[in-house]
Amino acid sequence: MGVVNVTPDSFSDGGHFFSLDAALSHAEQMIVDGVDIIDIGGESSRPGAQPLSLDEELRRVMPLLYALRDYGKPISVDTCKPEVMHEAIHAGADMINDINGFRAMGALTAVKDADCALCIMHMLNDPQTMQLKPTYGDVVAEVIAFLQDRIEAMEQTGIARNRLCIDPGFGFGKTVEHNLALLKNIGKMQTSLGLPLLAGLSRKSMIGVITGKPAKSRLAGSIAAALFATAQGASILRVHDVAETVDALKVWQVATLHS
């Protein structure tokens, strides 16, 4: 899964006019590089990020979704807002990726009658407060319990289980220790919940803490994390650097299958 952010950091003039052409070129390059799913999002989920208005999120995401839907690649829309989910599904989105685990009022209703895939992510609190001293007794058990709860809520609404995938939410209300515990227990989470697992580790601060590198220099660390997650059983990797990750996975897979 390749990330195309339509947030101010990706605005061509530093904050005012987002270039649809630039986002499209970015997505086109990802397709050339071998992406399987394109994840587009308009609201930043960085720690401390301010919430975005509904109008502004629609203004950022919808033109790109309309422009990308004829490229033949599955499109995921990263949103927590039921109204954006509704519009995105209507426009043909193949997946809704909700870092809030479909907890907003109206989120389950917005997705229940569609047939798109749904990614349920764990996040402690919200992006403004999630990194203020995150605390767990047993992070793996608590993330599994949260995801189990959300899966049950979705199934009770009538959502078919085969539409769902789970995500422990690396960096969303977690210390480096919490992230490492989750990374090492991907297999356990997957067997306990019986659903494909999406791992988003690319350029995250945990890689910065381990390597001492700023976000733009975290490629090698991100690839190591992606391969480790794959070896533990992750099914989908959410990444910024598609070409490099695809190459790394090709080598890893050939080596793994070689007799």
Which residue shows structure tokens 């515990």? 181
Question: Nearest approach, Cβ of 92 to ligand 9MG (angstroms)?
Answer: 20
What track of x and - describes contact with ligand 9MG for positions 179 through 208 (by CB under 6 A)? Answer: -------------------x-x--------
Residue 238 annotated to the active site: yes
Binding range to ligand 9MG, per CB under 6 A, among 10-18, 148-156, 165-173, 239-247: 165-173
Using the CB atoms, write b or e for 208-244: b if 16+ within 10 Å.
beeeeeeeeebbebbbebbbebbebebebbbbbbbeb
Is residue 78 a contact point for ligand 9MG (CB under 6 A)?
Answer: yes
Residue 104: count other Cβ atoms within 10 Å of its Cβ.
16
Distance, CA of 22 to CA of 79 (rounded, Å)? 21
State the DSSP string of 230-247: HHHT-SEE-BS-HHHHHH
Among 62, 95, 108, 121, binds ligand 9MG (CB under 6 A): 121
Binding range to ligand 9MG, per CB under 6 A, among 126-134, 135-143, 155-163, 167-175: 167-175
Question: Nearest approach, Cβ of 26 to ligand 9MG (angstroms)?
Answer: 16
**Are β-strands 198-199 and 236-237 bridged in parallel, bridged antiparallel, or unpaired?**
parallel
Partners of 78 in the β-ladder: 41, 97
Identify residue 61 by its one-letter amino acid code: V
Is residue 146 a contact point for ligand 9MG (CB under 6 A)?
Answer: no
Is residue 245 a contact point for ligand 9MG (CB under 6 A)?
Answer: no
Among 45, 131, 185, 245, binds ligand 9MG (CB under 6 A): 45
Q: Which residues of the shown chain bind ligand 9MG in the complex (CB under 6 A)?
A: 41, 45, 78, 97, 99, 119, 121, 167, 169-170, 198, 200, 238
Positions marked active-site: 204, 238
